[in-house]
Amino acid sequence: MSHHDERTFVMVKPDGVQRGLIGEIVSRFEERGLKLVGGKFMRIDEELAHEHYGEHEDKPFFDGLVEFITSGPVFAMVWEGADATRQVRAMVGETDPAESAPGTIRGDFGLDLGHNVIHASDHEDEGANEREIDLFFDEDELVDYGLDTAAWVYEDE
């Protein structure tokens, strides 16, 4: 089952929480066949925001991004499945909702680059998924269990 166990980090941002999109977003990943292994409703503090978005420190939008991501609660999650990081990014869409195809989460629920509803680990940034999971979750917050539907989602489970 080893190639079905890739994990990726996903977070409904403060705009997504306020707009009541947690359930819709969780449903999409469940329906795809991914397995939820961690979830946390939380508020991001200044320090965590700087760590999470450290790569954008020198960008003009950085201060606004930190202010936004700390402005209200987020719903952080870890999802597991075959090729999970790349598949989740495909479901999320482009960074800019205006460039995102209908059917993607940002393409269906967003119009504005600064309020793009969801974060998901970048599959093109090697190890970003594991780094982000470690930043947001302790090992004992990730739940190890079997999902009975896996035998139907995967041909070779």
* Pair of tokens at residue 41: 């409703």
Residue 56: active-site member: no
Q: Spell out a b/e string for 76-101, using b for 16 or more CB atoms within 10 Å of the CB, else e.
A: bbbbbbbebbbbbbebbbeeebeebe
- 129 annotated to bind ligand: no
CB of 140 to ligand IDP, least distance (A): 28
- 89 annotated to bind ligand: yes
Q: Return the number of other C-beta atoms located less than 10 Å from residue 15's C-beta.
A: 21
CB of 145 to ligand IDP, least distance (A): 29
Let me know how long the chain is. 157
* Pair of tokens at residue 94: 């482009």
- 149 annotated to bind ligand: no
Would you say 114 or 146 has its CB closer to ligand IDP?
Answer: 114
Q: Residues 52, 56, 115, 119: which is the catalytic one?
A: 119
What does the alpha-carbon distance between residue 15 and residue 125 come to, in Å, rounded to a whole number?
A: 25
Q: What residue ranges bind ligand IDP (CB under 6 A)?
A: 61, 65, 95, 113-114, 116, 119, 122
CB of 156 to ligand IDP, least distance (A): 31
Asked if 5 and 157 touch (Cβ cutoff 8 Å), the reply is no
Would you say 4 or 89 has its CB closer to ligand IDP?
Answer: 89
- Residues making up the annotated binding site are 13, 61, 89, 95, 106, 116
| Positions marked catalytic | 119
Q: Which parts are annotated binding residues for ATP?
A: 13, 61, 89, 95, 106, 116
